[in-house]
Structure 1
Amino acid sequence: MISEAMRQFIENTPLVYVASADAKGHPHVAAGKHLTVSDGTLLVFENWFCPVTLHNIARNAHVAVVVAAPGAKNGYQLIGRVVKPHDDPRLPGENAGPVPLEAPPALTRFVVRVEEIMEFSTGIHFDIPINPGYPLPERLG
């Protein structure tokens, strides 16, 4: 569950990063803004313009989101799954190739259900969830 203090931090941070991967596991990181929290467990991305991210999340729902104030040495890493990949009817279906980079997508929204929240830090860190009730990642458990 995303606390009220964390929600305010997330919604007031001007820039966030989303890591996604395609069906073969090739990673991609994109920056965005306009992130809001809904129902304490959902991250809502409005006006997302990166066609590679949109291509990836249509095929692989797993994402990591980093929220850290510009220049800060720490913040939050939120791990989750996309539950609503897009609302742009121009985007391809499951069997289509990637969206052409020269064709800018329309305003697009996607929603991520948060499964784990960890501290994000440039220093020593252990990637242990800080949100009560969520299990340890398999790699640490």
Structure 2
Amino acid sequence: MNENPNLHLNQPIKRYMTGLDGLRAISVLAVIAYHLHLRWAEGGLLGVEIFFVLSGYLITDQILFEWRTRSGFSIVKFWIRRMRRLLPAMIFMLTAVALWLLITDFSRLQALGGHFVSSLFYVNNWYLIFHHVSYF
């Protein structure tokens, strides 16, 4: 056997786990099935909890990796990276929904204005709480 047993020590550690993407996809599909009121998916709302737990694990892993490799962690840089990744998709979706409502149901767009603004600033849950709106 010609293989050097120490060869793998010089290669970067692969941190990406494809199985976690599969689990995320399944949890998203479960939530969609729940919202479509499919009888067999009554527990589909558990997909939200799975997604949150998985996100917490991945974010913690990212923070610890940065802490070890850069001898510290910057919360500002962390939030900038998150915003660069998440805001474009959210802004696109909010714009698309607003345009759709502008064309099809302007009164609904006016009624949801606070939801759009609070979503943009990541405080929609607080908006719903202060306006006594139940998720269910």
Tell me the TM-score normalised to structure 1 length.
0.21
Structure scoring higher RCO (CA < 8 A, sep ≥ 6) equals 1
Q: Which has the larger radius of gyration?
A: 2
Tell me the TM-score normalized by structure 2. 0.21
